[in-house]
Amino acid sequence: MVQHCLGGLSIPQHSFIAWFATLDRSLTRPRMALWGGILDLSCVLCEGIDETKDQLFAECVFSKDVWGLVMQGCHVRSCGPGWRDIVVWVQDHGKGKTLRATVLRLAWCSYLYFVWQKRNARSHGAPPWLADGIE
Ligand SMILES: [Zn+2]
């Protein structure tokens, strides 16, 4: 996965977030709580269950909506519901230097960056945001 996002055409900031996410190094709220100061571990995007990498990038209602819109824009029907399903799908379909593979890799990395950016903004007091705002 890292190679797919970092090799060839990429957007460095997006690839960096994708690299961190695929290595499960994202600073999710439970991980940050280990340092103290954070009491609420729930996802700030959907105010649902505790935030984890899988929850944030694959299971969160907000993220699912965004990913659905991204997939729709790429003319992909479905690539599976879970984090692992999506990663495997992107690895399989994002291989190579074809235009389609490049677009899928860029879309994946941009999706992760977008969710991470919205998550951070919301953590710092930004108002709730609807996924359909990206259309
Ligand atoms: Zn959520």
Q: What is the pLDDT along the chain (135 residues), one digit of tens a residue?
A: 444 454 567 899 999 999 989 988 888 888 888 888 778 889 999 988 899 999 999 999 999 999 999 999 999 888 888 999 999 999 999 999 899 999 999 999 999 999 999 999 998 888 887 766 665
Q: Which residues contact 5 (CB under 8 A, 6 or more apart)?
A: 14, 15, 18, 19, 22, 105, 108, 109
Listed residues: CB within 5 A of ion ligand 1: 43, 45-46, 48, 60
Closest listed residue to residue 40, CA positions, set 128, 118, 122? 122
Rounded distance from Cα 55 to ligand 1 centre (Å): 7
Rounded distance from Cα 97 to ligand 1 centre (Å): 33
Q: Which string of DSSP letters, residue by residue, matches 47-112?
A: S-SBP-HHIIIIISHHHHHHHHHHHHHTT-----SSHHHHHHHHHHHT-SSSHHHHHHHHHHHHHH
What residues does 50 pair with on adjacent strands? 42
Please tell me whether the overall predicted TM-score, pTM, comes out greater than 0.75 for this model: yes
